[in-house]
Structure 1
C-alpha cells in the first residue's frame, strides 16, 4: 500500500484524455479552489562525507527541511561520493534552509560537527496571496490589482479631503467678507448718529465759502473780502437771536 502511494505521489501529475491532472496530497485543510503548498522536491547535499551516504544518516540531516521520502539511485548505490540527493516533502510556505548543522551538541561537551550546505532542485513557485502554484507573490496579478485599487482609493480620499478644505476656506472667506460688510455698515450708521445736524445758516455759510474759495494765488490775497462777508453773517445771526429772545 505504501509503495503504491509513493509510486503515484512521486509522479506529481498524470495525463487523462490529453489533460494534465496535478496530484496533491490530501490534508484536513484541503480546499478545491486552492493549491496545496506541500510538494516534493529534490534536496542536494554537496560535500556530505561519503560515509554518511546512508538512509539512516541522510534522513536525519534533511529532517529539519521536511519529510524525507527516499534517496536517488546514485546515493543509494553509493556511486556518487561528491553529493547526496534526497526526495523530501516540503511546505512552500516555510522558509527554505540554506545550511544545517551536522554533529553533536551537549551541555557537558563542546559543540562538534560542521554546517552542511543545502541546495534545492526544481522548486515550484507558490503564491501565498492567492494560494496558487506557478507564480510567486511578486508576480501575482491579484496583488498588483489590489495595490492599484488601494492607490486609487488613496488618491480619491486625498482629493476629497482637499475639496473639503477648499469648501471650508471658501465658507470662512464668505463669513469674513460678510462680517467686514456688517462692521462697515455699523460704523457708517454710528457716524451718521454722532454727526451734528447742519442748520440752514451753517449750510449757507459753507456755500458762501465754497463759492468764494480762491482758485489761484491772486484770489487767495483777497481773502479778507470773504472774511468780512462771514462777519456780517455772524452779526446778522446774533441780532436775529437777540430779537427772538426779546419777543419771548
Structure 2
C-alpha cells in the first residue's frame, strides 16, 4: 500500500471583523462582508447573540493559495441616495504554517526538509565524472539501502 501526502487547498479559519457597521450585524450582513474575500461558514454564538460589539467573529473557508487581505471597504447606501465608505479590518486568529517551496501546509519555508542544504546530496560534475559531495552536517545522514541498490550505485561510480 502506497501512502501519499494529501494536498489541502482550503482550510477553515476564524477571522475577526473590526469596525463593522451596526447594519451588518446580521447573518446575511456578516456573510456579505466575509464573502467579498473568502467563503463564509458561520459566525460564533457570541456574534450571533450580539453580546460583544467590538468585533464580529466568523469562521471562513480560506483558500491557502490566495493573498490574505487585511481589510475590506464596504459601501453603505445613505438615505439621501449617496454612499458612505466603511473600512472593515480583518484579523486572522490563526493561519496554518505554509511552505512556499513545496507548497504544503504544516511547516514554514525555513523548516522545509526538502530544501535544507544539510539534507541534500550535492552532485558535482568534474571532468565528465560524477562525484558525490556531502555538505558539512551536525549529525550523520542515515540511508537504508538494499545490497542490490548499493551495487547499482557503486557500478555507476566506476
- Normalising by the residue count of structure 2, what TM-score does the alignment of the two structures yield? 0.64
2:92 equivalent in structure 1: 120
Provide the C-alpha distance between the structure 2 equivalents of 1:110 and 1:148, rounded to a whole number of angstroms: 62
Question: Taking structure 1 as reference, are residues 32 and 112 closer, same or farther at Cα in structure 2, changes over 3 Å only?
Answer: farther
Residues 37 and 126 in structure 1, CA contact (< 8 A), matched pair in contact too: no
What is the correspondence of 1:32-43 to structure 2 with a 5 Å cutoff? 32-43=4-15
What is the correspondence of 1:31-110 to structure 2 with a 5 Å cutoff? 32-103=4-75
| Deviation at residue 33 of structure 1 after TM alignment | 1.8
What 5-or-longer segments of structure 2 have no aligned partner?
128-158
Output the aligned Cα RMSD: 3.1
Q: Select the structure of larger CA radius of gyration.
A: 1
What is the correspondence of 1:163-178 to structure 2 with a 5 Å cutoff? none
2:134 equivalent in structure 1: none
| Deviation at residue 126 of structure 1 after TM alignment | 2.5
2:109 equivalent in structure 1: 137
| Deviation at residue 118 of structure 1 after TM alignment | 0.7
| Deviation at residue 125 of structure 1 after TM alignment | 1.4
1:182 equivalent in structure 2: none
Residues 93 and 128 in structure 1, CA contact (< 8 A), matched pair in contact too: no
Residues 34 and 130 in structure 1, CA contact (< 8 A), matched pair in contact too: no
What is the correspondence of 1:179-194 to structure 2 with a 5 Å cutoff? none
User: More helix by proportion, 1 or 2?
Assistant: 1
Provide the C-alpha distance between the structure 2 equivalents of 1:68 and 1:133, rounded to a whole number of angstroms: 21
Provide the C-alpha distance between the structure 1 equivalents of 2:51 and 2:76, rounded to a whole number of angstroms: 28
The structure with higher relative contact order (CA 8 Å, sep 6+) is 2
- Count residues in correspondence: 123
Residues 17 and 91 in structure 2, CA contact (< 8 A), matched pair in contact too: yes
Provide the C-alpha distance between the structure 2 equivalents of 1:104 and 1:49, rounded to a whole number of angstroms: 9
